[in-house]
Homo-oligomer: A and B are copies of this chain.
Amino acid sequence: MSQGDTDQSSIGRTLAVVGDRWTMLILRDVFRGVRRFSELVESLGIARNLLAERLARLVEHDVLVKVPYCDRPLRHEYRLTPKGADLSRALIALIRWGDEWESDDTDPTVLVHDHCGTELELELRCPSCDVSVAPTHVRSRSGSLL
């Protein structure tokens, strides 16, 4: 990839960290509690070398941390940092889109509020107008997004 934009825009920088076919899948598993190397291999069907490389990149970018879960023998697991946990919105947005538009009507990952069970909405809000904002009313401060 050259550079036309890739590392000099907000989304380009995001994709430099999580923009490949595996990383978001790995993070979804970590969110769900699958945190060890061999569990991730098993759960995702990813090649071990790729998983090792992706985890190293995520640690390097401070999305995950490697913490010991056992001393004898010394073993580690991968946990989300606050930066990593903050990817939940993106992850949820991707999951919801897949359920809405690419579902084969079998196993949607319905996301619900944990104490009432209602299906959640991901909503763009204007804190000062206190209203939900449609995508067509979003602008970028330096030019229009939509």
Contacts and interface: CB of A to CB of B under 8 A. Distances in A.
Interface stretch (A25-33, A52-60, A66-74): A25-33
A94 B45 contact: no
Interface of A: 1-6, 8-22, 24-25, 28, 31-33, 42-46, 61, 83, 85-104, 107-129, 133, 135, 137-146
Given A14-B102, A112-B139, A122 B120 contact: no
A83 B44 CA distance: 27
Contact of A129 (B21, B116, B138): B116
A114 B139 contact: yes
A41 B130 CA distance: 39
Nearest to A27: B11
A10 B93 CA distance: 11
Given A16-B102, A89-B96, A114-B137, 9 more contacts: A2-B46, A9-B28, A10-B108, A11-B25, A32-B140, A109-B142, A111-B145, A120-B125, A120-B126
B111 A137 contact: no
